[in-house]
């Protein structure tokens, strides 16, 4: 397949995609790194419009589908550094089309609801974790971090294309899934080891510093907590760690 040279105008366009307003304007985002790009190519769930890579990456013979109409650009290390949002650019960057923002109405399985999270690394890791534990989807409260933030994409790897992800307020999600039980991850909740999960529900993970909002008071939610097994002075887990542990426990108790 023909490998093109990078023009100044295209380089300027790619640099603009580092900012959310231009990602929204063009409906595109950049995914960086060999592992991330390989997963996206293998899964074919995210539309890849173009690849920008060092000659050494192409020389390795990556599997690039002929029928996907992906443009190929051969770039220098200096050009890759200018496109990249990472401290150390990593051989290849994919220009991808944003996914449809709508959440399917017939999801089967657990849904993870992120209640205003702002740390892109946490959100990316949670998306990856939800993928690992075969959750049906991830929903973020409107105003949460952008899932196309480079740090979110890096932490989530290729998982961003494998499960539905949407932004909506809690009451909108409840309207879609009125029969789901809402489970709030809280320090004051019932020990998850003593909780029965008879059917899939919605697991709510709160904001990194302020916790869970008051949006769920009339949802008849149930609060659950991870048991603290140490007497050492540790008061909490970060959102991604707590989600991983809770989903592991939930999976074990529903399998």
Report whether pLDDT(87) > 60. Answer: yes
Q: For the chain, how many residues are written?
A: 255
**CATH assignment at residue 206:** 3.40.1280.10
C-alpha triplet 216, 217, 220: angle, nearest 5°: 85
* pLDDT for the residue 255: 57
Whole-prediction pTM value? 0.91
- Express each pLDDT in 130-189 by its tens digit: 999 999 999 999 999 999 998 999 899 888 888 899 999 999 999 999 989 999 999 888
61 CB-near residues (< 8 Å, 6+ apart): none
Report whether pLDDT(49) > 60. Answer: yes
Domain identity same for 127 and 245: yes
Domain identity same for 91 and 117: no
Confidence bin at 79 (pLDDT 50/70/90):
very high
Structurally, how many domains does the chain consist of?
2
Residue 22: exposure state from Cβ atoms within 10 A (0-12, 13-18, ≥19): middle
What percentage of the chain's residues is helix, strand, coil (to nearest 5)?
35, 20, 40
* pLDDT for the residue 68: 75
Task: Output DSSP code: residue 210.
Answer: T
Confidence bin at 203 (pLDDT 50/70/90):
very high
Report whether pLDDT(86) > 90. Answer: no
Residue 115 belongs to domain spanning: 111-254
Domain identity same for 244 and 118: yes
* pLDDT for the residue 198: 80
CB 42 within 8 A of CB 163: no
Quick one: CA dihedral 116, 121, 122, 126, positive or negative? Answer: positive
252 CB-near residues (< 8 Å, 6+ apart): none
Q: Is residue 192 part of a domain?
A: yes
- Express each pLDDT in 115-125 by its tens digit: 999 999 999 99
In whole numbers, what is the pLDDT of the chain averaged over residues? 90
Alpha helices in 164-226 (DSSP H): 170-176
Domain identity same for 232 and 154: yes
């Amino acid at each position: 397949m023909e490998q093109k040279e990078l023009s100044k105008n295209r380089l300027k366009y790619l640099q603009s995609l580092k900012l959310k307003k231009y990602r929204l304007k063009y409906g595109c985002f950049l995914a960086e790194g060999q592992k991330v790009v390989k997963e996206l190519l293998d899964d074919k769930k995210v539309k890849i419009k173009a690849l920008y890579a060092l000659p050494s990456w192409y020389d390795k013979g990556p599997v690039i589908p002929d029928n996907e109409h992906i443009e190929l650009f051969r770039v220098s290390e200096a050009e890759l550094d200018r496109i990249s949002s990472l401290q150390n650019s990593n051989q290849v960057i994919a220009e991808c089309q944003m996914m449809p923002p709508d959440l399917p109405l017939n999801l089967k399985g657990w849904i993870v609801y992120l209640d205003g999270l702002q740390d892109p690394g946490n959100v990316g890791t949670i998306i990856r974790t939800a993928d690992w534990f075969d959750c049906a989807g991830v929903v973020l409260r409107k105003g949460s971090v952008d899932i196309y933030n480079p740090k979110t994409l890096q932490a989530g790897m290729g998982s961003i294309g494998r499960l539905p992800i949407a932004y909506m307020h809690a009451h909108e999600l409840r309207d879609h899934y009125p029969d789901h039980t809402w489970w709030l991850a809280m320090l004051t909740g019932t020990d998850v080891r003593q909780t029965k999960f008879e059917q899939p529900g919605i697991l709510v993970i709160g904001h990194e510093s302020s916790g869970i909002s008051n949006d769920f008071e009339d949802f008849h939610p149930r609060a659950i907590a991870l048991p603290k097994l140490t007497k050492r002075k540790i008061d909490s887990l970060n959102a991604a760690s707590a989600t991983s542990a809770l989903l592991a426990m939930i999976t074990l108790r529903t399998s």
